Amino acid sequence: MKSKKMKLLAAQLIWLPLFFSCNSNKVDSSLELDTALIPVTKTMEAELTAPPFVPAPVGNRAAMTLKVNMEIIEKEGTMTDGVTYNYWTFGGTVPGSFIRTRVGDEVEFTLSNHPDNKLPHNIDLHAVTGPGGGATSSFVAPGHHKMFKFKTLQPGIYVYHCATAPVGMHIANGMYGLILVEPEGGLPKVDKEYYIMQGDFYTEGKYGEPGLQAFDMTKAVEERADYVVFNGHVGALTGDNAITAKVGETVRLYVGNGGPNLTSSFHVIGEIFDKVKIEGGSEENHDVQTTLIPAGGATIVEFKVEVPGTFILVDHAIFRAFNKGALAMLKVEGKDNLIVYSGMVQEGIYHPEGGTIQSMPGEGAQAAVVDNKTKAERIESGQQIYMNTCFACHQASGEGVPNAFPPLAKSDYLNADIKRAIGIVVHGKTGKITVNGKAYNSVMTRQTLTDVEVADVLTYVYNSWDNNGTEVTPAMVTEVKSAH
């Protein structure tokens, strides 16, 4: 009997290696690492960064006790030129400070509510496994702080936000950010990393209406956003604040959507995402043009920049980009790659319906309008019209978009002929022009503005950015229209 048992055991031992070799590609879930059991060896202070920057990569460091100290600050800030808003923030910025951890870290999180604040707040981190994502343990009054702990169990990119009632109002005022949990061994190395987060804002005044704007609960409930922006305000990542890279570099963007309501259709004009971490999880997609990011969600996108230029980042629900502020810039420097992109090779005249000039409906002449504004009042009005109508192409400081839209700042073309400038605004223009020594070949569409609005916006432009200080009047606009 004993010998039979020994023979059976020997047979099992012979077949055991063969069984494992035949099933080597299968993952036995029972053998997966329990990340809750990863030991920590040391304690370190977490590096927190303001957007669009991120802390240094985790690399192959061991799991640690990571001390995160975050302060809640209620502060007035600029939404767009002439418009301010009372933001509620984690760390003084919208989005809040970027937190970078690795799987297995034990996070010791201290949330402080500045004594000058008016309201209690808390924090719900989607990376937390526990009641309220930490919200039930972090409710804190002004002048106090709360500390709680959690273990990072699953790698990914996660949103955090305030979850104090009314939750939607706290999020809508800017209380959101991202926490990254890197896998063991860290993420693959890239050349540049940036932090971008979309949010929708609801103000009592319409887009561009000047002054300090209050939160509008009715608009928020009805999901009628006045502003949809990256990193807290219009133009946060344009002009001198644009993110940068060099030709040949790989760029990784950590992109979140604080909401509180709208889904983002994130797209980089002129680029294709080589990799997309779907909803920030473990699944990876490739060769993606536009990726959806739900409210309260995030993703990681990577792409290699092959040619120089200014690449525009947008929510491709496109009126949000060009009319509500969801627009950013990536400026890439380096040598041209004519194999990848040649630029314009040939230009010609295209008349599919003959040589007759075509007109859009409703382009009839307007009656002359006279107003009694002072020059200062015209400039103030023109600034708001500019931010509503001209900002997307010509940018907040009039610098334009290289190789696409000409600058209005210090513009020799603009200052040389005021009537020509009026004509371009009221009638549109297509074809080549040279501005400040550089050639542009794009389209300026006819603007549907009244004579007063045309006068105001051009007066603002002529009195900004070292232009010649001309005051344009409605009568001058009417004269140019009559001569057309």
Residue numbers belonging to the annotated binding site: 121, 126, 161-162, 170, 175, 316
Q: What does the angle CA 274 – CA 277 – CA 23 come to, to the nearest 5 degrees?
A: 100
Q: What does the angle CA 220 – CA 223 – CA 227 come to, to the nearest 5 degrees?
A: 80
Please give the Cα distance from 107 to 137 (Å, whole number). Answer: 14
- Strands, E assignment, 176-239: 176-182, 192-201, 211-213, 227-230
Beta pairing partners, 107: 66, 150
Q: From the annotation, which residues make up the binding site for Cu cation? A: 121, 126, 161-162, 170, 175, 316
- Strands, E assignment, 81-182: 83-90, 99-102, 106-113, 124-125, 145-151, 156-161, 176-182
Token duo for residue 235: 């133009």
Considering only CA atoms, which of 159, 160, 83 is closest in space to residue 121?
A: 160
Are 387 and 395 contacting, i.e. CB atoms less than 8 angstroms apart? no
Please give the Cα distance from 215 to 128 (Å, whole number). Answer: 29
Considering only CA atoms, which of 302, 38, 300 is closest in space to residue 190?
A: 302
- Return the number of other C-beta atoms located less than 10 Å from residue 153's C-beta: 16
